[in-house]
Amino acid sequence: MVSTEVLEAVKRALSEENNKKRKFTQSVDLAIHLKDVDLKKPENRIDEEIELPKGRGREAKIGVFASGELAFKAKDVADMVVTPEQIKELADDKKKAKEVAETYDFFLAEAPLMPSIGKALGRIFAPRGKMPKPIPPDADIAALVAKLRNSIRVRSKDRPTFHCFVGREDMGPDDIAENIEAVLQRIEARLERGRMNIKSAHVSTTMGSSARVI
């Protein structure tokens, strides 16, 4: 259930007063500031993949590392399929590898390919939070991709303030508010004291002023 406070914050962020019309559709972001959490300890850091209940407004781009029949199936549902032979090609072309890592939001990979991906592309993919998720045996690749289409990655690293995408300005305020609630609930579940560990949270469009959620 969406709280009145969250919904009103979204409406303020999207209002003409706070958000001038631009020549492009702006993203809507949530900035979260934690308190009393020792983020120097890796186990305390936030690193969550969250499916937004109302979607992203624009689907995430998905890349799949696969071979054989799985690669064939993935071509029908993913935006990019990388074969085992192409992994080495990417590793040899660092510029191309960086472009791929920055263009696609999520990656999936056949479990047997994970070691070679880590060795060849780990230095480029890992710092960006783009290391592939292993595909379980006999998994429905179409269902996995469909879920990721509406998902986001939330990472705090070692900083108390971090941002995440929660929608686009052409989505309804109610939908954006519901996405924000889903993100906050997931993060609270990861924190020792729940919402007590969140100092503040603000919502804003790419170029607009922020409105306080918490």
206 contacts: CB under 8 Å, gap ≥ 6: 22, 26, 27, 29
pTM of the predicted protein model: 0.93
CB atoms within 10 A of CB 61: 15
Q: What angle, rounded to 10 degrees, do the helices at 84-92 and 94-103 form?
A: 110
Q: Model confidence over 185-211: pLDDT tens digits? A: 999 999 999 999 999 999 999 999 999
Q: What is the CATH number of the domain that holds 119?
A: 3.40.50.790
Q: Are 8 and 203 in contact (CB under 8 A)?
A: no
Four-point Cα dihedral 78, 180, 30, 7, nearest 10? 130
Coil vs helix vs strand at 15:
coil
How many structural domains are present in the chain? 2
State which residues form the domain around 184: 4-57+151-212
Tell me what percent of the residues of the chain surpass a pLDDT of 90. Answer: 94
Which amino acid does the sequence have at 37?
A: V
For residues 90 and 128, give the distance between their C-alpha atoms in angstroms, rounded to a whole number.
16
β-bridge mates for residue 203, sequence order: 30, 211
CATH number at residue 189: 3.30.190.20
Q: Are residues 121 and 139 in the same domain?
A: yes
DSSP secondary structure code for residue 111 in this structure: G
Asked if 167 and 140 sit in the same domain, the reply is: no
**What are the CA-CA distances from residue 73 to residues 22, 69, 101, 155, 188 (Å)?**
40, 6, 22, 30, 37
Q: Tell me the pLDDT tens digit for each residue of 55-114.
A: 999 999 999 999 999 999 999 999 999 999 999 999 999 999 999 999 999 999 999 999
* DSSP-assigned letter for residue 186: H
Q: Are 129 and 176 part of one and the same domain?
A: no
**Which H or E element spans position 11?**
helix 4-14
The per-residue pLDDT for 188 is 97
Q: Are residues 102 and 205 in the same domain?
A: no
* Residue 145 and residue 70 in one domain: yes
